[in-house]
Amino acid sequence: MKRVFNLLIGKMQMTHKELEQHVTLITFDSSHKRLIYDNVTVDMAHKLGRDEYNPGGATPLYDAIGIGIAKINAQTTDEDSVLVTIITDGEENCSEEYNLKMIKNLIDKLKKQGWTFTFIGTDNLDVEGMAADMGIDNHLSFCEDAKGTEEMFRRERKSRERFNMCMASDCAMPEGSYFKEK
């Protein structure tokens, strides 16, 4: 997953240079939450190294989402186009600061301000149900093996390219259509 994520960052650095793209990346498990990128321009985002991404432990999913949204919200203006992509291989099971109701309220509020949210999860999860519970219309499920992970990132990359084309053309992407392939 780290290798494919690094390819994704590389592709972002090479496309839509007319857009000012920023990246915030938070990795998390039950023992820690780690801020890898904090609102850095995509050109300043380095490739993930060996010790920067090692998934394991339980899943404080709501805490990671809430902390990420709060951080991004503090760094953006009403004129910014914000895309939040949540990728997980586990269900919420150990958050201490945020609960589902708080996350759904945050997401609903920010969607009204034009934010776009996407939710990606492994095929052993009820991805559609989890996304719906949080108020997220754009969701994608993937097989948690090398081929499935690469295909997921390919679809995400293509979807983000369409999203960026919409942003560059100053037109909104229809709600719920983020992962729809033409």
Instruction: With cut-offs at 50, 70 and 90, classify the pLDDT of residue 182.
Output: low
Instruction: For residue range 55-107, list pLDDT tens digits in order.
Output: 777 889 999 999 999 999 999 998 899 999 999 988 999 999 999 999 999 99
Residue 120 · residue 154 · CB < 8 Å: no
The SS3 call for residue 46 is coil
Residues in CB range of 7: below 8 A, 6 or more apart: 153
Residue 32 · residue 84 · CB < 8 Å: no
Whether pLDDT at 174 is above 90: no
Q: Where are the alpha helices (DSSP H) in the chain?
A: 2-14, 61-75, 100-112, 127-134, 146-168
Distance CA 20, CA 18 (A): 7
Pairing of strands 22-29, 32-41: antiparallel
CATH of 2-168, one of 3.30.460.10, 3.40.50.410, 3.90.550.10, 1.10.3720.10: 3.40.50.410
Residues in CB range of 60: below 8 A, 6 or more apart: 28, 29, 30, 33, 92, 93, 94, 95, 96
Q: Report the candidate in 152, 135, 133, 132 with the shortest Cα–Cα distance to residue 144.
A: 152
Kindly report the average pLDDT of the chain as a whole number.
90
Whether pLDDT at 53 is above 90: no
Greater confidence (135 vs 47) lies with 135
Q: What is the pLDDT of residue 102?
A: 98
Distance CA 8, CA 130 (A): 25
Q: Within 13 Å, how many C-alpha atoms sit on residue 115's CB side?
A: 21
For the chain, percent of residues with pLDDT exceeding 90: 57
pTM higher than the cut 0.75: yes
